[in-house]
Amino acid sequence: MVGKPLSCDEPTISCSRLDYARLCIELNASLPFIHQFEIESPLSDEPQLVKVDYEWKPPRCERCQCFGHNCVAKEEQLMKLTQKEDKRPAEQTPSEVKESTNMGNGDQETKPGKMGQINEVVDATSITPQASTSLKQSIDPCRQDKPNGKAPQASQEASSGSGNVASEIHEKGNWLPRRKRSCPRKKGKLLLLPSLPASIPLRSSRRRKGGKRNMRPEASKVQQWATKNRLNLMGIMEPRVMIPNIAVVEEGLGMRDWTFFSNVYHGPLCRIMIGWNSNVLEVTILSSSGQWVTCDTKRKDGGQVIRVTFVYGSSTSVERQELWHYLKYQKSINDSVPWLVTGDFNAIMRVTDRQGGDSNWYRHMEDFPNCALESELIHLAAEGHHFTWHNRQQGTASILRKLDWAFGNQNLIRLWPQAKATFQARIESDHNPILITLSPKPPYQRARFKFLNLWTDLDGYEETVRASWGIEAQGNPFSRLTTKLRTLKGYLNNFHKRNSSHISSRVVQAERKWKEAQDFLDQHPQDLEAGKRERDMGNLYSALRKAEESFFKQRSRVNWLQLGDRNTSFFHRSLLHRRHRNGITSLCRDSGEVIRNPEEIDPY
């Protein structure tokens, strides 16, 4: 009714202020401002009156029906300016008018009555610099300077300072600037867009002599970065490209054998553009929106399908709700495939992810960490810069934020436990680029001995310890102690192989045998042995389930949950997260050399 809502403040979204609601609304320039309206409520028989107060109203032109100027106000301002600057007598003979006109434009004559009633003549030499500036703005109030630096033709004519302005100023019998209509008479809208850096070219690139394409510096930086890091899949957030320029941008990047896709059809500007090497990857687009693009990627020479979601979150917390709901919904769909989520979320996880600016923690800031928790997304091991966005200010005005993130689900971490995200230094944008590397599994290494708490609940544990400790050892007391402990470790390893190794597989087998015993008992209800076997299989399954839960709880080091609540899946996720977080992906030697080969890191 009033307009399209874009965002609201924190008290409005949290319903902590009931006196009024404060919103940012997109208005239609062709419609008048609404100051009150009525709504029907089930709590009252009569409609409720709602008043609308505007903290700020943009100038609106009734003639052009667009925001940003007012033709009537401009004309009145120019009339007052010309009357103030004209100091000549009001009454002149036709010969005096002709003489004053010839002073500014050679032998050109001005004939009374030819173009209407002319009662004043303005000489170009009598216009001050302020008047020239006002004329320039009035002649073309809607037009802005183009990127190539050329001013509009009408503005150049008004500021040239030569010739007679009277020949260009006449409308409806008054001396007014003849305005070239640069804005058409159609419905307009006030749309406030953030000032965002362009990281790729928005116009056609030029060719040098010999046919070589002259790329913009931003596109050249993107191409060099992709070539240097040997990328096969790339996502560009916030390119700010319109539909007619998409093909020009793709060609301007100069990346051969690459295919591109963008979400430009979901808004006025492209927010996400992805590209891939079509000789290496097969990419299938699954879903796209104004805040995400999801695709399946697979190497042409074979391999695992990886689902990738590129994210560019909205700048308002209300619009980001759509993104959070999408990620939560995709959690159950992507349980069986490796899922990578990365991009600019425009949100932080914790207080330490910001420096400078507003220090308050609002309620909507909890949405992002809650979404990551409910979606069961795990942070990829990070290297490089912590803060990924800078406002490029200095001193107290400097603001740093960590807005770019990289996540993976359990399947991704299980297949690529060495996966990592490197946040490199900024290039052309105010955001740091992210380089994600999916390293293969390291070679299997024999695990070190670890005492498992579940052993104490298994049958035969005390007999095993007693038999091991009863063996005689020679030497001093400390030597005998270490010898017995070493012997006990061997006994417990054998005990583990017989009773608790591959505990998850044992649980699956016990569950299957228990179901088979139940089916047999259902077909032979009078068989006593069948009933006893079904009861034993059920007890074995319960004991193994408890042992499995204890195993993952100990490995995950989660101490705030109690056993018996069927938290095995949570402990397993926590174990994967902890193992991935504590993994050492690189090591710096004393000489300054950085090694990343797992075989070279292992001796340290």
CATH of the domain at 374: 3.60.10.10
Strand pairing category for 434-437 and 420-423? antiparallel
Amino acid at 154: A
- Shared domain for 522 and 376, answered yes or no, is no
For the entire predicted model, the pTM comes to: 0.50
- Shared domain for 144 and 230, answered yes or no, is no
Q: Model confidence at 427, in pLDDT bands (50, 70, 90)?
A: confident
- Shared domain for 156 and 31, answered yes or no, is no
Query: CA-CA distances (angstroms) from residue 201 to 149, 210, 248, 585?
Result: 17, 22, 8, 36
| 277-291, 310-324, 550-564: the lowest-pLDDT one | 550-564
- Shared domain for 492 and 506, answered yes or no, is no
- Residue 195: both structure tokens together: 């000032």
pLDDT above 80 (res 118): no
In a domain, 124, yes or no: yes
- Shared domain for 387 and 242, answered yes or no, is yes
- Shared domain for 468 and 530, answered yes or no, is no
In a domain, 286, yes or no: yes
SS (H, E, C) 496-556: HHHHCCCHHHHHHHHHHHHHHHHHHHHHCCCCHHHHHHHHHHHHHHHHHHHHHHHHHHHHH
Burial 499-523 (b: 16+ CB within 10 A, else e): bbeebeebbeebbebbeebeeebee
- Shared domain for 280 and 410, answered yes or no, is yes
In a domain, 195, yes or no: no
The Cα 517–Cα 511 span in angstroms is 10
Please tell me the predicted confidence (pLDDT) of residue 171: 38
The Cα 319–Cα 525 span in angstroms is 61
pLDDT above 90 (res 408): yes
SS (H, E, C) 414-454: HHCCCCEEEECCCCCCCECCEEEECCCCCCCCCCCCCCCHH
The Cα 201–Cα 240 span in angstroms is 9
- What proportion of the chain, given as a percentage, has pLDDT over 70? 69
Residue numbers of the domain that contains 257: 206-437
Task: Select the more confidently predicted residue: 77 or 304.
Answer: 304
Please tell me the predicted confidence (pLDDT) of residue 580: 63
In a domain, 200, yes or no: no
- Classify burial at 406, counting beta carbons within 10 Å of its beta carbon; exposed 0-12, middle 13-18, buried 19 or more: buried
Please tell me the predicted confidence (pLDDT) of residue 150: 41
Alpha helices in 140-216 (DSSP H): 153-158
- Shared domain for 372 and 513, answered yes or no, is no
Give residue-wise pLDDT tens across range 256-275: 889 999 998 888 889 999 99
The Cα 586–Cα 593 span in angstroms is 10
For the chain, what is the domain count? 5
How remote is the C-alpha of 53 from its chain's centroid?
Answer: 33
490 backbone dihedrals φ, ψ, rounded to 5°: -65, -40
- The Cβ-side half-sphere exposure at 459, using a 13 Å CA radius, reads 3
- Shared domain for 89 and 147, answered yes or no, is yes
In a domain, 574, yes or no: yes
- Shared domain for 47 and 130, answered yes or no, is no
- CB-based contact 250:289 (threshold 8 Å): no
Please tell me the predicted confidence (pLDDT) of residue 261: 93
- Shared domain for 431 and 475, answered yes or no, is no
3 state SS of 308: strand
> What's the chain's average pLDDT?
74
In a domain, 184, yes or no: no
| 305-309, 448-452, 569-573: the lowest-pLDDT one | 569-573
| 51-65, 278-292, 293-307: the lowest-pLDDT one | 51-65
pLDDT above 60 (res 384): yes
- CB-based contact 80:145 (threshold 8 Å): no
Angle at 151 between CA 171 and CA 102, to 5 degrees: 45
In a domain, 383, yes or no: yes
In a domain, 488, yes or no: yes
| 209-218, 307-316, 463-472: the lowest-pLDDT one | 209-218
Give residue-wise pLDDT tens across range 529-584: 888 999 999 888 888 888 887 777 776 655 444 444 445 555 556 666 666 666 77
| 5-9, 27-31, 138-142, 471-475: the lowest-pLDDT one | 138-142
Task: Tell me the torsion sign for CA atoms 15, 17, 20, 24.
Answer: negative
- CB-based contact 197:430 (threshold 8 Å): yes
Which pairs with CB-CB distance under 8 Å and at least 24 residues apart come from 217-220?
Answer: 217/428, 218/428, 219/249, 219/252, 219/253, 219/254, 220/254
- Shared domain for 511 and 418, answered yes or no, is no
